[in-house]
Structure 1
Amino acid sequence: MLTLRKAEERGHANHGWLDSYHSFSFANYYDPAHMGFRSLRVINQDRVRGGMGFGTHPHRDMEIISYVLEGALEHKDSMGNGSIIAPGEVQRLTAGTGITHSEFNHSKTEQVHFLQIWILPDRQNLQPSYEQKNFTVEQKRDRLLLIASNDGRNGSVTVNQDLNLYATVLSNGAEVTHTVKPGRHAWVQVARGEALLNGQPMKAGDGAATSQPGELQLIGKDDAEVLIFDLA
């Protein structure tokens, strides 16, 4: 059974420079029915105006993944890392015992559009660390590509949690499947475009959860970009 989380039902905050939609409770948006799903705590769809961004702020005991869809995100942190995250690149930040960082739109004129994902780690007080890798559209085209995992296999970024995160970019009519094994759980998030999930129409911003073993079938429409979280 799929439980849908429609895009228009998410929390929303528009600060002018930042237009953000929250799949789960975040900041001033509180919904006790949507506090997260398993270890998945935050999926924020953020659009930041040119020249604007998040000033230096702290985090601890959280795995933070940034997935850029459009534009470029500039990152700096207290570990000395500085980078530009472009579409196709995945950044993983382990906050652990505590870090500070900032995120800004690298462009002065064009918006940056990205997903910020928070995952609860499997243990606290980890050593803070940082990782960034590029996954091309060609690698994701019409297949599920592993982009984050607990063991970093197949070139994925390493996350301190029992999680497998897959990404795909689906051509019109293209199909991929993922099997949810007994004891596992899945969250499907449409980043852009449209797709059918087990026959259910989904659009950008929609999410769906299942804790039932079985097959998830995705059929693409309009270059759908979709993430699948396979969770303990």
Structure 2
Amino acid sequence: MKKVIHRADTRGYANHGWLNSHHTFSFANYYDPNRIHFGALRVLNDDVVKGGMGFGAHPHDNMEIVSIVLDGALEHRDNTGKQEVIRKHDVQIMSAGTGVIHSEFNASKTEDVSFLQIWVIPAERNVTPRYDQKTFDPASRENALQVIISPDKSSDALWLHQDAWFSLGKFDAGKTLDIIPKAVGIGSYLFLLSGEIKIADEVLQTRDAIGLSDYDKATIEVIKPAEFLLIDVAMLG
């Protein structure tokens, strides 16, 4: 088993006044040569945007971009004419492909919006840009893993252009869960949203993360009630 630990207090941090952002991987002005990516997982930003503020129109290409709203509401607009609002329990996927211009603003003038912005390197470049979103029932992740994104276009989850599966879980203290790789060449990255768990002989607390590769099975022991995002992703050779 290979493992990498990313403690919450070792992440990059940027305070722009209207935006507080923690960067798990190198991003913008934060650079760490040892934290460029985990397989095809390239960006995991933990963002809080003040009411009435947001990211103005900016371009992306050849990246799969996922937004998971934790609290509040986020308004999306892009140059295809798409205009949507995503709220808590909503997940958004955007395949930037050949190129897209979009903006993201807090849909509230007064309340903060908290969300995860995640980028995945696609398996295929220059695809046609695409946008989708879906609301997921939080009851389905009580003491279980709820798959919200997969490579399978026919599943109930959203899909993206990469061997990557995103799952959310909310577990009571005392619960245990075994995780195994989805396939050869797939690693697992766990980001703890809240609580305390033990995995691979490591104790993780809120906003800590662990990446596992070349493993057969790992057991998650829930020490304190915990919520987490598990990303199974291609390790890119």
Same fold (TM over 0.5): yes
What is residue 68 of structure 2 aligned with on the other side?
67
In the aligned structure 2, how far is the partner of 1:222 from the partner of 1:199?
16
Deviation for aligned residue 1:142: 0.8
Deviation for aligned residue 1:221: 5.0
What is residue 210 of structure 2 aligned with on the other side?
208
What is residue 140 of structure 2 aligned with on the other side?
139
Q: Give the AA of the match of 2:232.
A: D
TM-aligned CA distance change 1:223 to 1:212, over 3 Å: same
In the aligned structure 2, how far is the partner of 1:133 from the partner of 1:207?
25
In the aligned structure 2, how far is the partner of 1:195 from the partner of 1:105?
32
Q: Give the AA of the match of 2:190.
A: V
Q: Does 1:194 align with 2:190?
A: no
What is residue 220 of structure 2 aligned with on the other side?
218
In the aligned structure 1, how far is the partner of 2:80 from the partner of 2:222?
40
CA contact (8 A) 1:64 1:119 kept: yes
What is residue 15 of structure 2 aligned with on the other side?
14
State which drifts further: 175-184 or 60-69.
175-184
In the aligned structure 2, how far is the partner of 1:88 from the partner of 1:196?
26
CA contact (8 A) 1:11 1:25 kept: yes
CA contact (8 A) 1:187 1:229 kept: yes
Deviation for aligned residue 1:171: 2.0
What is residue 34 of structure 2 aligned with on the other side?
33
State which drifts further: 50-59 or 199-208.
199-208
TM-score by length of 1: 0.95
Q: Give the AA of the match of 1:140.
A: R
CA offsets, 1:106-159, max 9 Å, x none? Answer: 111111111000001111110000110111210111111111111134311111
- Identity, in percent, stands at 41
Q: What secondary structure does 2:139 align onto?
A: helix
What is residue 23 of structure 1 aligned with on the other side?
24
Long gaps (5+) in structure 1: none
What is residue 231 of structure 2 aligned with on the other side?
229
CA contact (8 A) 1:69 1:115 kept: yes
Q: Give the AA of the match of 1:145.
A: Q
Paired positions, count: 232
CA contact (8 A) 1:182 1:213 kept: no
Deviation for aligned residue 1:182: 4.0
What is residue 97 of structure 1 aligned with on the other side?
98
Q: Give the AA of the match of 2:188.
A: A
Long gaps (5+) in structure 2: none
Matches within 5 A, 1:70-149: 70-149=71-150
In the aligned structure 1, how far is the partner of 2:222 from the partner of 2:232?
20
State which drifts further: 218-227 or 59-68.
218-227
In the aligned structure 1, how far is the partner of 2:206 from the partner of 2:10?
13
In the aligned structure 2, how far is the partner of 1:168 from the partner of 1:89?
15
CA RMSD of aligned residues (A): 1.5
CA offsets, 1:12-42, max 9 Å, x none? Answer: 0011110000000000111111001110000
Deviation for aligned residue 1:102: 0.7
CA contact (8 A) 1:24 1:42 kept: yes
Deviation for aligned residue 1:218: 2.2
What is residue 165 of structure 1 aligned with on the other side?
166
Q: What secondary structure does 1:214 align onto?
A: coil
In the aligned structure 2, how far is the partner of 1:85 from the partner of 1:5?
28
TM-score by length of 2: 0.93
